[in-house]
Amino acid sequence: MSKAPDFSYTPESVKALSVSVIKELEEKLKTLAAVPAERRDFRNTLLAFENAVSGFGEAVQIPILLAYVSDNADLRAAGQELELRISQYSVDLFTREDVFKALNEYAARGEKLGEVEARLLEKTLLDFKRNGLGLEPRARNRVKKLMKELIGIELEFSKNLREVSDALEVTEAELKGLPEDFKARLKKTDAGKYLVTMNYPDYVPFMDTAESGDARRRLEHMYNNRCVPANIELMEKAIALRRKIAKILGYPTFADYVLADRMAADSANVFAFLERTWAKLKLKGRKELRARLKLKGGEDKVMRSWEWRYYNNLLKKSKYSIDHEKIKEYFPLETVVKGMFEVFGEVFGVSFVPAPLETWHKDVRAYEVKNAGGSVAAYFYFDLFPRDGKYKHAACFGVRGGRELADGSYELPAAAIVANFPAPSGDAPALLKFDDVVTLFHEFGHVTHNIFTRAKYGKFSGTSVSRDFVEVPSKMLENWAYAPEVLRRISGHYKNPAEKLPEELIKKLIAAKNMDSGLVYLRQLFFSLLDMRYHTARGKVNTTKVYDQLMKKISLIPLSPDTHPQANFGHLMGGYEAGYYSYLWSEVIAMDLFGAFEAAGVMNPETGAKYRELILAPGRSYDEAGQVARFLGRPAGEEAFLKSIDAA
């Protein structure tokens, strides 16, 4: 059995590693490339490549994790340098002609392969082809040049956004509706006005609660004109470059290039999915919009971009009267964690046992994940509270991937949740807001994907699935946070643990979940369709014109005059181009899978075992749609999702 992960790195050992791991991989690749064509077989070519790359990834995974979580600034810096070097090297790795030639020589031998091995060959070759290998040299070099140019443009777009320092000057009267602690942290001008920045902690509360419609209009105008015109030009240039790359590689559009390695397969399938969902959501969205317009009153029967958040928030407060500050008293962190382990331990047939394992910080909690028979299935770590230099959000980090080793044993996977929940203060324990509870369950969904993997090959292990499937397990587990029987088990007032979250509040939390789901999902559909329209266009794209046309039609709320929100739509310049639909796609599949638990009972261990075996364990070893169909007994559908948001 493989040992628990080792975190005993020093800045010096990490620096030395950045040289040694690349050198070691280079030697393995040299050996692989030197095998004569007539002697190539699965073991000395495809498996040799897979083992070399997976071993390389494993060697750097923990040192790179330490860049985000170590309390040693030198170790974090060494980890960051390592991550940059490995990222750059990985780009070169999949443009190597000698390795591609070796893999093609092996493929040409036509050796009979099992289903998973055939998929391994197909996906490995695809990684090289998507970088231009297989094309004649001039075309290949052109693709490489365009890809490098594209990376530069995307980085400049993001840098421009990071450096925005615009702020709106408002009077004290224009802050009416906002809490005192919001006002207290705003900077002031010499003239005594307050400065509201473009950062989320300023922008969102202001748009939600400021009573001054004119101040909200001015802030929205400034917010949606960040980095104009520079970022409009960069985005339109990027769209044109992507179109050229796709054309050289033989795809009709850039979206089709991206989707060739996703569940959705091509742009036609994505458009069909989005249009079907839109048709079902329009009715609910229009009904919600009418309720908000009624609250707005007056002659103007259009909900403006600077108004919808405000009236939505007003309706939420008046209809559901949920006080999240009060509710968090029922969610002490320790009670929630204990309840969560019990709930998912029951569902998945495991136990989470605290273990005296080595960690990267004294506050980190370590667990052995044990099967019913007592054998260790995986390792899990909790790093829950903020500290200097630590990653600032909540995320699941893979610590080690599961895979079959050369001696036939299985490398036990390990995963961590790195979060920044409020720490205990004085006599008060750490308390979670309900949103924090949902976040915890979401990240734990990613953990289940990592720790329950039994994939044979590292390439298919855990969360190494299609981008449009990776959020399925995380969206799945969010549903347990809304199940009354689970809320009773994970809650208990911090002053009296026996006092569970009152039934009335449970009902309000569940009811409030869908009070604006029509408008929220129409907005998500709008962004998804906008992304697809940008990346399937045949000629030059006027990004503002397309944005304007689609926003009113799909989201029911028009674009504000003389604004250009695409200039700050970072998703399309940072990994989600032709992929924004993935959020909705994953959620639809997750809700269909959750339907099986609803039918059998959310705590049903038989359904949990089946889900673990058919969805989590294989990773990407099989076609994801096929795995879902095996679990459900039919292909995935959209009915469960529509029903879950009251849009069926």
State the chain's maximal CA–CA distance in angstroms: 82
Whether residue 616 contacts residue 449, with contact meaning beta carbons closer than 8 Å, is answered with yes
- What are the φ/ψ torsions at residue 497 (nearest 5 degrees)? -55, -25
273-280: long-range pairs with CB below 8 Å, 24+: 273/581, 273/585, 273/588, 274/525, 274/528, 274/529, 274/532, 274/581, 274/584, 276/638, 277/521, 277/525, 277/584, 277/588, 277/638, 277/642, 278/522, 278/525, 278/529, 278/554, 280/638, 280/642, 280/647, 280/648
In which element (H, E) is residue 376 found?
Answer: strand 376-383
Q: Which residues are catalytic?
A: 443
Which residues are within 8 A (CB) of 544 and not within 5 positions of it... i.e. 6 or more apart?
Answer: 232, 564, 566
Q: Quick one: angle between helices 267-296 and 582-600, nearest 10? A: 80
CA-CA distance, 188 to 171, in Å (whole number)? Answer: 10
Instruction: Please state, in angstroms and as integers, the Cα–Cα distance from residue 233 to each residue in 351, 510, 547, 610, following that order.
Output: 54, 44, 15, 50
CA-CA distance, 333 to 430, in Å (whole number)? Answer: 5
Q: In sequence order, what are the beta bridge partners of 187?
A: 195
CA-CA distance, 12 to 18, in Å (whole number)? Answer: 10
Amino acid in the structure at residue 51? N
- For the CA atoms of the chain, what is the radius of gyration? 26
CA-CA distance, 598 to 540, in Å (whole number)? Answer: 48
List the one residue out of 345, 336, 391 whose CA is nearest residue 367.
Answer: 345
The DSSP bridge pattern shows strands 414-418 and 376-383 to be parallel
